[in-house]
Structure 1
Amino acid sequence: MNFAEKLKKGRKEKGWSQEELAEKLFVSRQSVSKWENGQNYPSIEIIIKLSDLFNVTIDELLRSDEELKEKVIKDSKQLAHPKLKFMFDVLFLIGTALLIIKLGIFTLNKFTALDINLYGWSFFWNFGPLILMVGGGIGSGVIKEKYIED
């Protein structure tokens, strides 16, 4: 018996409609319908809730359906902190943009009669882009190696 059949059987044994089960799981009735028809699979959090509601082990729900088992394995290999990685990527890009601005102004001053000054601290313009790029690159790389391990 695959996951969809187990879900439908468990729901009917409890005497619940799809709507009632959906309310208990905080999902839409359409989601429950798709799971029961084998059109889609729930997340691991929902599978845990289902195992509690139906008083079965997670193993009983997962082992019978190879496709669901593969989905759960794939989902578990996602980045642990995607927002933090995004922040480091943005820092790297800001550093790159500042470096391009500095080099652009330096080139304009060197080859034209313009005399454009970079406002702010010279330390910032000399080392800021480097610090942002190195920090962002290292941080992004470290976060990229960390996956959710539940």
Structure 2
Amino acid sequence: MTAFARALQRSRKEHGWSQENLARKLEISQATVSFWESGVEYPSFKHLAALVALVPEVLPYAHQEELELIRRLLRAEKLAFGGGCSCQGCNCS
């Protein structure tokens, strides 16, 4: 099992979600979550982004390529929104 798979499983359980609960939230199958948690498969970037929105604590365990892409997207968002993010009422900088 990979570090990402362990982190995902731990985080899901800490949230009190079954694999089925998480799958419904992500609009995927329970089998897909099972494959991620066993290390058989790794989420696509689209699914990784949705997953990180639900369980941000797994982000440090993502593959390096995805982390760099997320960093680049965050920098672009800050440029587009005058130094902050696009969240309503957010005060991040």
TM-score range, shorter chain: 0.5 to 0.7
Larger radius of gyration: 1
Aligned equivalent of 1:49: 50
SS at match of 1:27: coil
Structure 1 unaligned segments of length 5 or more: list them: 63-67, 77-148
Q: Determine the C-alpha separation between the residues in 2 that align with 1:69 and 1:19.
A: 28
The alpha-carbon distance between structure 1 residues 6 and 57, as it changes in their structure 2 partners (threshold 3 A), is closer
Q: Determine the C-alpha separation between the residues in 1 that align with 2:47 and 2:61.
A: 11
Please give the TM-score of this superposition, normalised by the length of structure 2: 0.62
Q: Deviation string for 1:32-82 (max 9, x for gaps)?
A: 001000001111111111111113373x131xxxxx446x59xx8xxxxxx
* Identity level (%): 39
> Which letter maps to 1:29?
Q
Q: Determine the C-alpha separation between the residues in 2 that align with 1:57 and 1:21.
A: 14
CA RMSD of aligned residues (A): 2.5
Instruction: Answer 1 or 2: which has greater helix percent.
Output: 1
Aligned equivalent of 1:8: 9
Equivalent residues in 2 for 1:1-150, closer than 5 Å: 2-56=3-57, 58=59, 60-62=60-62, 68-69=63-64, 72=66
Query: Contact 2:19–2:30 at 8 Å: present in 1 too?
Result: yes
> Which letter maps to 2:7?
K
The alpha-carbon distance between structure 1 residues 48 and 30, as it changes in their structure 2 partners (threshold 3 A), is same
Query: Contact 1:19–1:28 at 8 Å: present in 2 too?
Result: yes
Query: Contact 1:34–1:40 at 8 Å: present in 2 too?
Result: yes
Query: Contact 1:51–1:61 at 8 Å: present in 2 too?
Result: no
Please give the TM-score of this superposition, normalised by the length of structure 1: 0.40
> Which letter maps to 1:34?
F
Structure 2 unaligned segments of length 5 or more: list them: 74-93
